[in-house]
């Protein structure tokens, strides 16, 4: 197996158990809902639909970019694709760098379009791979292999610096993103991988034409922890295990610039329940995204595992909306939430 393949396999191994989760909190625990004793809502009529990038999904949840690039990853991607097709929710494949370097790995990504002909599927590439401008042919291969509806660029300087073999030069990532946006006709989403995006970084991304920002803040999977747990890491540095801006801090900070700026905001990093999704929307997010709970459920029980988890979150989200007196997700407001005293 290639070096990238080994690394990707380790990533799933360490994220499915709980040892690679941040100790610092997302911040959602600091909030509670304002209960409505007179909701005047029929639970059966509550709608969980939500629009993102002009498309209506059944539920405000994105399955975050995770895998691809080695043989078993194709099977995981097939399950995620089947699940998202069935539920009408969007998802992203993991970094496509491996298939750009080795064409024989393309099938581990392209399986998703076979399993999910109508789903909203996103390509994925690291910001570092964009330095100097990604070749037109590479952009085309990434998009065509999965008939992508959007491209996700991930920013992960913390993770790279914790990897002994990781990249060290981050000069030119923003120019690379701008170049990518100019060379493609589909929307570009930029996400972190768990250390969060600040308001000043968000402004820079929006200025070059990014359509959607996914904060991927701290409080869920810690990529410093993941990299420090890998046996092949001979220089672990646990002092950075808790580095990152919490998810709620990112949401509050970035939602302040939603007007006059026009963009959509995704809440991710530690989304572990329907409560976290609803709190995210009350704090200004348009959508939520989750990685670790779904890869864990799939590792334990395949497609059924993901379905069971989704059913629980769906029922809980409808229950929360009812208890807040909201007919639909779009009725959620900041006033439905209060800081715990």
Ligand X SMILES: Cc1cc2nc3c(=O)[nH]c(=O)nc-3n(C[C@H](O)[C@H](O)[C@H](O)COP(=O)(O)O)c2cc1C
- CB closer to ligand X out of 255 and 292: 292
Sign of the dihedral through C-alpha 183, 189, 194, 195: positive
Of these, 50, 113, 154, 179, which contacts ligand X (CB under 6 A)?
154
Rounded distance, CA 219 to CA 222, Å? 8
- Residue from 3, 60, 74, 30 nearest 332 by CA: 60
Alpha helices in 51-198 (DSSP H): 71-87, 97-101, 107-115, 136-146, 157-162, 173-183
Rounded distance, CA 72 to CA 62, Å? 22
279 in contact with ligand X (CB under 6 A): no
Contact flags string 290-309 toward ligand X, x per CB under 6 A? xxx--x--------------
Residues 97-136 that bind ligand X (CB under 6 A): 124
Shortest distance, position 117 Cβ to ligand X, whole Å: 23
Rounded distance, CA 145 to CA 81, Å? 14
Judged on CB neighbours under 10 Å (0-12, 13-18, 19+), 198 is: middle
Alpha helices in the chain (DSSP H): 3-16, 71-87, 97-101, 107-115, 136-146, 157-162, 173-183, 199-207, 223-229, 247-255, 274-282, 292-324
- CB closer to ligand X out of 155 and 324: 155
Q: Which tokens go with 41?
A: 């809502």
- CB closer to ligand X out of 12 and 81: 12
Shortest distance, position 154 Cβ to ligand X, whole Å: 3
Shortest distance, position 5 Cβ to ligand X, whole Å: 12
Shortest distance, position 259 Cβ to ligand X, whole Å: 26
Contact flags string 173-202 toward ligand X, x per CB under 6 A? ------------------x-xx--------
Shortest distance, position 186 Cβ to ligand X, whole Å: 17
Residues 216-275 that bind ligand X (CB under 6 A): 216, 220-221, 268-271
Q: Which residues bind ligand X (CB under 6 A)?
A: 11-12, 15, 64-67, 94-95, 124, 152, 154, 191, 193-194, 216, 220-221, 268-271, 290-292, 295
């Amino acid at each position: 197996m290639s070096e990238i393949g080994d690394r990707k396999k380790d990533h799933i191994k360490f994220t499915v158990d709980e040892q690679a989760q941040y100790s610092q909190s997302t911040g959602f625990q600091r909030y509670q809902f304002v209960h409505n004793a007179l909701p005047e809502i029929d639970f059966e009529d509550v709608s969980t639909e939500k629009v993102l990038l002009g498309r209506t999904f059944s539920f405000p949840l994105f399955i975050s970019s995770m895998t691809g690039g080695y043989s078993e990853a194709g099977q995981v991607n097939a399950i995620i694709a089947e699940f998202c097709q069935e539920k009408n929710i969007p998802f992203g494949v993991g970094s496509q760098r491996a298939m750009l370097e080795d064409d024989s790995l393309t099938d581990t990504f392209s399986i998703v379009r076979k399993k999910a002909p109508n789903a909203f599927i996103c390509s994925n590439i690291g910001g570092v791979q964009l330095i100097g401008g990604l070749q037109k042919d590479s952009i085309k291969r990434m998009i065509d292999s999965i008939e992508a509806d959007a491209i996700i660029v991930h920013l992960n300087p913390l993770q790279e610096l914790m990897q002994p073999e990781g990249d060290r030069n981050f000069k030119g990532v923003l120019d690379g993103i701008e170049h990518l946006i100019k060379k493609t006709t589909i929307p570009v989403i930029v996400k972190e991988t768990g250390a969060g995006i600040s308001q000043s970084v968000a402004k820079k991304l929006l200025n070059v034409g990014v359509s959607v920002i996914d904060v991927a803040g701290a409080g869920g999977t810690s990529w410093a922890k993941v990299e420090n747990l890998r046996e092949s890491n001979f220089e672990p540095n646990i002092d950075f295990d808790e580095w990152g801006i919490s998810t709620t801090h990112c949401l509050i900070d970035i939602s302040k610039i939603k007007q006059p700026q026009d963009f959509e905001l995704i809440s991710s990093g530690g989304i572990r329940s329907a409560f976290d999704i609803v709190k995210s929307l009350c704090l200004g997010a348009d959508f939520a995204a989750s990685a670790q709970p779904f890869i864990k459920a799939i590792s334990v029980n395949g497609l059924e595992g993901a379905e069971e988890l989704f059913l629980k979150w769906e029922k809980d989200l409808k229950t929360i909306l009812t208890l807040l007196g909201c007919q639909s997700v779009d009725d959620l407001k900041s006033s439905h939430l209060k800081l715990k005293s």
